[in-house]
Amino acid sequence: MENNETKQKTSVIEMLRNENLRNSLPEGERLEIGDTVQVSVKIIEGDKERIQAFQGTVIALSGSGIAETVTVRRIAHGQGVERIFPIHSPKVAAFKIIRKGLVRRAKLYYLRKQVGAAAKIKEKRDFKKKA
């Protein structure tokens, strides 16, 4: 009896998780480490809502399912800025892939120590932008 009850609770939790999953990327696209992306974030100021773009390099992907997050890094006014975005958050309007990066690491934390041209990532040649 108890086992059946826990299965039912689990299925309700899974149902809610699947209901809140959303895809902010175009069909067939996937975020990968090293990609340069533009994240459109919904900002609420008072009673107004606007969308602010944050463009940078994906240095880490973590989590799975509804808890999946992406860490994006950019240089702003000579300072490194990193933001962690939940992929399925309603605050994230969209992800736009600007260019695909060619890397051989799962996490690009070493970019924090790199300066200038050393912090650049090579571009994948076979990536074709859809207009």
Tokens of 13: 């939790």
How far apart CA 110 and CA 59 sit, in angstroms, is 9
Would you say residue 129 lies in a domain? no
CATH number for the domain that contains residue 82: 2.30.30.790
Would you say residue 4 lies in a domain? no
Would you say residue 119 lies in a domain? no
Would you say residue 79 lies in a domain? yes
Would you say residue 48 lies in a domain? yes
Would you say residue 43 lies in a domain? yes
Q: What is the model's pLDDT at position 71?
A: 97
For the whole model, what pTM was predicted? Answer: 0.81
Q: What is the model's pLDDT at position 66?
A: 87
Query: 121-128 — which CB contacts under 8 Å span 24+ positions?
Result: 121/34, 121/36, 121/57, 123/99, 124/100, 127/99, 127/100
* Cβ atoms of residues 32 and 100 within 8 Å: yes
The pLDDT mean for the chain works out to 87
pLDDT tens-place string over residues 32-75: 999 999 999 999 999 999 999 999 999 999 998 888 999 999 99
Would you say residue 121 lies in a domain? no
Would you say residue 50 lies in a domain? yes
Reported confidence tier of residue 6, pLDDT bands at 50, 70, 90: low
Reported confidence tier of residue 17, pLDDT bands at 50, 70, 90: confident
89: containing domain: 23-111
Q: How many domains does the chain fold into?
A: 1
